[in-house]
Structure formats: C-alpha cells, structure tokens
Amino acid sequence: LRAPNAKKNGVAASRSPLRLRVPRPPMAAQPGKVDIGKLSFEQLNQIKQEHEESIAQLSQRLDAMRQAEARFRESRSTLDVIKADPDAEGKAMLVPLTQSLYVPGTMLDTDSVLVDIGTGYFLEKTVAGAQEMIDRKLEVVAKNSDSMSTVAAHKQQNLEAIVMMMQWKMQQIQDRKAELDAAQKSS
C-alpha cells in the first residue's frame, strides 16, 4: 500500500508503505484519559456499559484463575502425600480421567508422575520436578490474578465515578426542567 505524498483531511501520507501521520485529537491531555465532565449523558451511559461488561469479563477470568489455583494446590498436596508416604507404591487409588470421571488404579512407581501439560500432552517428571513445575504455575497464576484484580479495582473506581457524574448530570437536567416549569407558571 503506497499513498502519494499529499495531505488529505489533515492526514499526511508518506511514500513508505503503511506509514501515516495522524494528528492527535485534542480530546485528552494524557493518552487514555477522558474528562468525563465534558461528555454527554448518552456518552457516559455508553462508557458505563462498556465498563460493566469489562468488569464482568474480568470477574469471570478471576474466577477461572482461582479455580486453576485451587486445582494446582490440590495437585501439589497430592504430590506431598505421595512423597511423604513410603508405602504408597502398590496402593489402590482413583485416577481422574476428567474432572468428574475417575477409574480405579494402582500406584506403581512413586518416584515419577505423569504431568498434564495441556491439549492431551503429558510429561513424565519426578515428584520433585512436578512440584517445582506446579510451584512455578502457582506463581504465574498469583501474579496474573493480582494484576487482574488491580485492573478490576481501577475499572470499578472509574465506573463509580461515571455513575456519580451521570447522577449529577441527571440532577442538573431535573433542576433545569423545574426552573423552566416554574418560569412557565410565572408567565
């Protein structure tokens, strides 16, 4: 894609492919920040709906992260039991095929375990290696959960500010209407 070296609608195009200079809109002093006091009630309502949807999605993701963390912790505790029990070899157990389907089995080797790494792939690891892997995954899940919680908290604060501004604007509209009604009754 090449554009001739000309200006159209305030946009200067260069001869290099896919490079356009677009002037910044004077809407916000800082990128990503909007003065909500200057927005119309309809614009505020749209932003409010977007924030509510975003918060709902973040909440779902946080729930999924908490569930993953719980599964990792359960796996970690199972590995602790296997490692601590010297007589675990030869013991009967239930082997999970899915989250709700278990089949009977026997523990043959307590020195190594199969680790599900996703999409049907498994790795054979020592118990200590599997514990380290789970610990790393727990650390990643905790960091992601913390960052998502922070983002959700900021979005919630923004949502509250938007709702307050909408209430203030609605009160202004009602006050103006009352003034106009009073003025019409006086005339």
CB contact set of 132 (below 8 Å; sequence gap of 6+): none
Q: Which tens digit of pLDDT belongs to each residue from 54-104?
A: 999 999 999 999 999 999 999 999 899 888 888 888 888 888 888 789 999
pLDDT at position 31 is 60
- Token code pair at residue 176: 């103006």
pLDDT at position 30 is 54
pLDDT at position 177 is 92
Instruction: Report the pLDDT averaged over residues 3-7.
Output: 41
Contact 2, 17 (CB under 8 A): yes
4 vs 71, residue with greater confidence: 71
Q: Which tens digit of pLDDT belongs to each residue from 100-123?
A: 899 999 888 888 888 888 888 889
Round to whole Å and give the CA distance between 147 and 31.
21
Instruction: Report the pLDDT averaged over residues 34-53.
Output: 91
DSSP state of 28: -
Contact 63, 70 (CB under 8 A): no
Q: Which tens digit of pLDDT belongs to each residue from 144-173?
A: 999 999 999 999 999 999 999 999 999 999
Is pTM, for the whole model, over 0.85? no
Exposed e or buried b per residue across 48-84, where buried means at least 16 C-beta atoms within 10 angstroms of its C-beta: beebeeebeebeeebeebeebbeebeebbeebeebbe
Which of these, 78, 72, 81, lies nearest to 139 by C-alpha position?
Answer: 72
Report the half-sphere exposure of 156 (CA within 13 A, side-chain side).
Answer: 10
pLDDT at position 186 is 82
Q: Is the pLDDT of residue 18 over 60?
A: no
End-to-end CA distance of the chain: 66
